[in-house]
Amino acid sequence: MNDSSGGMRDVSFNTVPVDSSIYNKLRMTVLTMDPAGIGLSPETDGPVWGILAEMGISGAVASLLMVRDGTVSLYFSKGGGIVGGGAHDDVLDAADNCLSHAGACLAHAKPAYMFPTPEDDKVVFYLLAFGEIFTVGVEVQELERGAHPLSELFRMAQEVLSRLESYSTGSAQGVDGFLFPVDKKVNQDMLVKAVNDGDVEKIRSLIDQGAEPNSPGDEGLTPLMAAAYNGDDGIVALLLDAGADTELKDISGYTALMYACLQGNYACAKLLVDCGADINARDNDNSTPLMFAVQGDAWNTIVKMLVAEGADPSFAGNHGMSAIDFAIQNGREDTLMILQKSL
């Protein structure tokens, strides 16, 4: 809807029956808009005053528009849409985050002279800068992996969509399709990456968007395993609160507790044990958490905790070695005394 200054300011929030025949007209109105005409300037609104993020879905296109004047709308090439999102503070805040971050993405985009819509499973960002429009097209899977320079902008756009959907009335054709896979099924590699980066806020945001803390990434590694290996007990606690399963195993049969013991991360190991982690779990070689713990340098605090909880120091794995045998092999006399006293 046009305001008196010629812009497209949202005046209501609802699911609207946008006829597919006017979709292209709406789209080109955005792409040819004069930001000065709606009161925007680079001095007050930063290098990017608007974003048109588009995704190809099953032969159709979903177009998310965010403008510094408070416009937040979603349109579909086959009809339908949501307008007026900027009337809600949380939607507006999420859109402002996108627009603020977009300036850092200009270096990875190129000037746009034509404005094609994306093919299926591809996202095109049109970054509306003052004096010029920039564009970059990326495969959805590449953005999901989290390593592309625009992956963070993609994640932020998904957050806008998630908040838009929570307020929409009626049936917004295509919303679920556009949100997939990051809103309903957030790519697990992104969550594991956030864990490895120690980025608590991103972890919270991804979980809020629907990231599954029990879905494995590469080689069966779950976010909980990564946090336990890294020794970040705060993130371990966060993931456990989100429902992370302590008994899941990677392709080698390692559990999160095994990873904590492998690295000598006592605080993480204690959290996992307190939450019911199996202290006698076995990997593919029938090795136990205690076997991992006795091989580290000065990790007797973990050894003491495990045996106090009932870990069996005499059990031998497929390799024929028990925790006691590993202590002897590695010359851990102090550890050996702890194990023998527990028998």
pLDDT score at 92: 93
By the 8 A CB rule, do 144 and 181 touch? yes
| Residue 205: per-residue pLDDT | 79
Query: What local confidence, expressed as pLDDT, does residue 147 receive?
Result: 82
Q: What pLDDT, on a 0 to 100 scale, did the predictor assign at position 2?
A: 30
Task: Give residue 82's pLDDT.
Answer: 79
| 191 phi/psi in degrees, rounded to 5 | -70, -45
Task: Name 33's Cβ contacts closer than 8 Å, sequence gap at least 6.
Answer: 6, 7, 8, 50, 128
10 Å CB burial of residue 18 (0-12, 13-18, 19+) is buried
> Taking Cα atoms as reference points, which of 337, 306, 339, 338 lies closest to residue 322?
339
Crossing angle of helices 266-274 and 223-230, rounded to 10°: 140
CA separation for the pair 308, 297 (Å, rounded): 20
pLDDT at 151: 94
pLDDT-flagged residues of the chain (< 50): 1-19, 169-186
pLDDT of residue 96: 96
Task: Report the alpha-carbon distance of residue 226 to residue 204 in Å, rounded.
Answer: 16
pLDDT at 341: 87
Q: How does 26-61 read in b/e, with b if 16+ C-beta sit within 10 Å?
A: bbeebeebebeebebeeeebbbbbbbbbbbbbeebb
Q: What angle do CA 339, 289, 223 make, to 5 degrees?
A: 155
Domains annotated for the chain, with CATH where assigned, are 14-172 (no CATH), 213-341 (1.25.40.20)
Q: What is the pTM of this model?
A: 0.52
CA angle 105, 106, 108 (to 5 degrees): 70
